[in-house]
Chain A
Amino acid sequence: MSDQITQPPSARADLAAAVHALPERMGWWFIPASLLFWTVLWPVGLLAAVVWLVARTRRLRRLQSPVDRRIARLLRWYPAGWRERYGDEFAALLRDTIADGRGGLCLSLDVASGGLAARAEDGARQRMLAAIFLTVGWIPLFPQGIVPLVMQLTGVPARSWFVALYLPQPLQWLTAVAMVALGLALLAAGVRMAGGLTLAGRRAPVR
């Protein structure tokens, strides 16, 4: 009787089978890439973040008073170019405002909002974002979008590194189309930003 009962496979056997099947399911690069991520990139990234936080805290603590530390923290909402131009006078105004007893949460929120608005208008940041969008946008559009669509239509069996083709069948089309849309959106945003900067440069008065 007991011989007829098939034992369920153990969790360890399941895990071993899953690991064994990984290269076939995900591609040969998956295991070395995972090893690299978990053994090198992740610990190094964590260590770098901790070192950065400790250095920043020490730098802030070297400043004299809690008010100075708060003003330094508030100023960090603004981009470097803005701080260079307005930083000293803005810090003086913040000091006066706090001394008046009006340094509550409203002040922090207002400064954060102003800083984010200044960052959104910062020309250097927009140039960088435009360059990133115009560079990265091609990846979802062509290799992750149009190429998998063509492969689906022509019935090419290879999956290579096309993300969409590793998903269940109904999601493959959806993912490829979403990738095309994402790529087009990134490229459109990049073109729009670059165009806006060019026009702004043409409109800027000659000093």
Chain B
Amino acid sequence: MSSEPLGGLGRYAGPATLILSSLAGGSKHGYALTRDIEQFAGVTLQPGTLYGALSRLERQGAIEALEGEGRRRPYCLTPSGAAELQEHLGTQRRVAEVGLKRLDAGWSAA
């Protein structure tokens, strides 16, 4: 596993964050993931992008597949995936706090 959170995912790092955040609320299959991400992030992940990120996350050990429900197969977060997500979101939170603070200081009067 990479030392950088969600490292090595390239253009799939954004979708991967959304997928891990969705799976943090419980296991889901592809279609349920798409709908959940639409609801909490307002982003529609197309099937090719979703499965591109899912296959990479599974290869990295951040998620794992469960027994299928018919042709649909649910995925769940692994402990290492949860740790990666925690670290990644912590970094994002720090970046967001700094950005918001600087915006408040410099742009509030504008």
Give me the interface of A with B, judged by CB distance under 8 Å.
Answer: 82, 85-86, 88-94, 96-97, 102, 106-107, 110-115, 117-118, 205
Contact = CB atoms under 8 A, between A and B. Distances in A.
State which size class the interface on B falls in. Answer: 20 to 34
A140 B45 CA distance: 45
Interface in B54-110: 54-55, 61, 68, 70-73
A90 B52 CA distance: 11
B29 A110 contact: no
A41 B51 CA distance: 41
A120 to B, nearest CB: 11
6 contacts: A86-B55, A90-B51, A93-B29, A110-B47, A112-B48, A117-B52
B55 A118 contact: yes
A111 B71 contact: no
Contact of A93 (B44, B50, B55, B70): B50
Contacts of A92: 29-31, 70-72
Nearest to A97: B47
A118 B50 CA distance: 13
Contacts of A102: 44
A134 B34 CA distance: 43
Nearest to B29: A89
Given A106-B46, A107-B46, A107-B47, A93 B31 contact: yes
A105 to B, nearest CB: 11
B73 A89 contact: yes
Contacts of B30: 89-90, 92-93
A205 B61 contact: yes
Contacts of B52: 114, 117-118
Nearest to B70: A92
B47 A89 contact: no
A90 B72 contact: no
Contacts of B68: 88-89
Given A82-B55, A93-B31, A110 B73 contact: no
B53 to A, nearest CB: 9
A88 B71 contact: yes
B43 to A, nearest CB: 13
A193 to B, nearest CB: 18
A94 B54 CA distance: 15
A112 B52 CA distance: 11
A85 to B, nearest CB: 8
Contacts of A112: 48
Contacts of B70: 92
Contacts of B48: 107, 110-115
Q: Please name the 3 residue pairs, one residue from A and one from B, whose CB atoms are nearest each other, closest first.
A: A114-B48, A110-B46, A93-B30
